[in-house]
Amino acid sequence: MENQVFIGRQPIMDLKQHIIGYELLFRHSADADSAVFEDGLKACSNVLINTMGDMDVQWLLGDKLAFINVNEAMLLSEFIELMPPQRTVLEILRTVVAGDAVVERCRELSKLGYKIALDNPQLGTQLELLAQFASFVKVDALSVNPQEARKLFQKYAAPNVQMVAEKIETLEQFEAYKEIGFRRFQGFYFARPETFTAKVINPSFDSVLNLLNLVTQDSDNSDIENGFKRDAALSFKLLRYINSVGFGLSCEIQSIQHALTILGRKQLYRWLTLLMVTAGENSTPPALMKTSITRGRLTELLGESYFEKHDRDNLFIVGVFSLLDAILKMPMDQVLEKIQLPENVSEALLTRGGVYGPFLQLTEACEGADSKRILELAELLQYDADKVNECHIAALAWAESLGI
């Protein structure tokens, strides 16, 4: 496991919390935080060739950008050009010194269509010379206070530069940086609500809960069909999802009855979990929905070689539902009182333990780009970096294909 690179990711959002791109973090397992040395450069290029070679036709097809961290060695190397220029933002680390070769290389890459992002240029040395090429400038909310952030905003903001506030972990920070003028945000505050006060579940969630419970109780198709008929919006969504590319059916399904026949209970159960996280579209931040759906797919893919189909459906549900406390704004134990889930699913959601726990833990570690934890869990499950990265990219691609 010595010379391996794991991909981590963090979403970058706009004001309405729609994901505009992902920062893809390449963590070298042998020496995760150091500058990428010769072997690391080779390992990173392997990731780009093996895992991300077909990325352009997959999830980069939408309007999403891939932010890639680059140090001087990576910037000057040719393998950066494996990435599709129109979708790639090269995030220049603050350790880079803007000598003649670096300035020239940035000029060349800009001409090829790559976008350049500066990572906290105020903390670097001589990065000012690269400001002329920057399309994005990032400011770390943990390393500056709002007053300093305001000064940096005034210094770097320009019609052709998008200012990104990163490490945003609370709603207060989000509001403060929004007030300064930032329109791009990075951080997991949306998945970590600080207080859970809501006790009322909105009607659309309630309908899905009712349907989920009917399915787990093995009720008749006619009862389930009636459950859908009582909520036209849910019926529409179910049909839309089933007919989406992500599902890959050969014929179009036009009625709930047809859907129930074609799907079978296991798939219906699985699609109701998707409806669960998207039912409250008006109140749930889009980035939170997308993250929970990606979690579901990644947890499932990581468990594919370990489990039979039935368990893989449960893994999907574990991943998707792992953010239900944030979506419903209530503690997980209260959420689980309202849904009848298999015991090992509940155990994974409450304690991250049991037979499904390690797969969810690995998914969360990938999401947070926690290289030490990713390595521990990958070793535990006997996976190498290529396998984990492949699952990760495939999960992102799948979530994009749903068009949510």
The verdict on 73 and 27 lying in the same domain is yes
- State which H helix or E strand residue 20 sits in: strand 19-28
Q: Output b/e per residue, 121-148; b: 16+ Cβ within 10 A.
A: bbebeebeebbebbbbbbbbbeebeeee
CB atoms within 10 A of CB 380: 11
Bridge partner residues of 67 (DSSP)? 23, 89
Same domain, 115 and 238: no
Final residue in a domain of this structure, among 163, 187, 211: 187
Percentage helix, strand, coil, to 5, in the chain? 55, 15, 30
pLDDT tens profile 316-331: 999 999 998 888 888 8
* pLDDT band of 289, cuts 50, 70, 90: confident
Q: Which domain holds residue 342?
A: 203-401
Q: Which amino acid is at 229?
A: K
pLDDT in tens, 264-273: 888 888 888 8
Helix (H, G, I), strand (E, B) or coil at 148: helix
Output DSSP code: residue 253.
-
Residues 162 and 207 in one domain: no
How many domains is the chain partitioned into structurally?
A: 2
195 found inside a domain: no
Of 177-181, 386-390, 396-400, the one with minimum mean pLDDT is 396-400
| CA count, 13 A, side-chain hemisphere, 352 | 10
Query: Does the structure show a pLDDT above 80 at 21?
Result: yes
Give 166's pLDDT tier (boundaries 50, 70, 90).
very high
Whole-angstrom CA distances from 62 to 166, 196, 398 are 23, 34, 12
Residue 186, C-beta contacts closer than 8 angstroms, at least 6 positions apart: 10, 11, 12, 13, 23, 138, 164, 165, 166, 167, 168
Name the helix (H) or strand (E) containing 338.
helix 332-338
Report which listed range, 69-83, 301-315, 320-334, 350-364, is most confident. Answer: 350-364
Does position 56 have pLDDT exceeding 90, yes or no?
no
Q: Would you say residue 194 lies in a domain?
A: no
Instruction: Report if residue 260 sits inside a domain.
Output: yes
Quote the pLDDT of residue 36: 46
CATH number of the domain bearing residue 100:
3.20.20.450
Residue 240 lies in a domain: yes
The letter for the amino acid at 341 is: L
251: left (phi over 0), alpha (psi -120 to 50) or beta: beta
Whether 320 is covered by a domain: the verdict is yes
Whole-angstrom distance, CA of residue 247 vs CA of residue 255: 16
- 54/135 same-domain check: yes
Residue with tokens 């992002």: 117
228-241 residue pLDDT tens: 888 777 787 777 77
Return phi, psi of residue 20, to 5°. Answer: -100, -15
Please check whether residues 31 and 148 belong to one and the same domain. yes
Residue 119 sits in the same domain as residue 245: no
Q: Judge if 277 and 383 occupy the same domain.
A: yes
pLDDT for 81: 84
Token digits of residue 186: 């990075």
Note whether 73 and 41 are same-domain residues.
Answer: yes
Q: Is 296 helix (H, G, I), strand (E, B) or coil?
A: helix
Model confidence pLDDT, tens digit, residues 335-386 = 888 888 889 999 999 999 999 999 999 999 998 777 889 889 999 999 988 8
Q: Are residues 292 and 342 in the same domain?
A: yes
Mean residue pLDDT across the chain: 83
C-alpha dihedral over 66, 70, 74, 77, to 10 degrees?
50
* Alpha carbon of residue 35 to chain centroid: 25
At residue 194, the pLDDT reads: 53
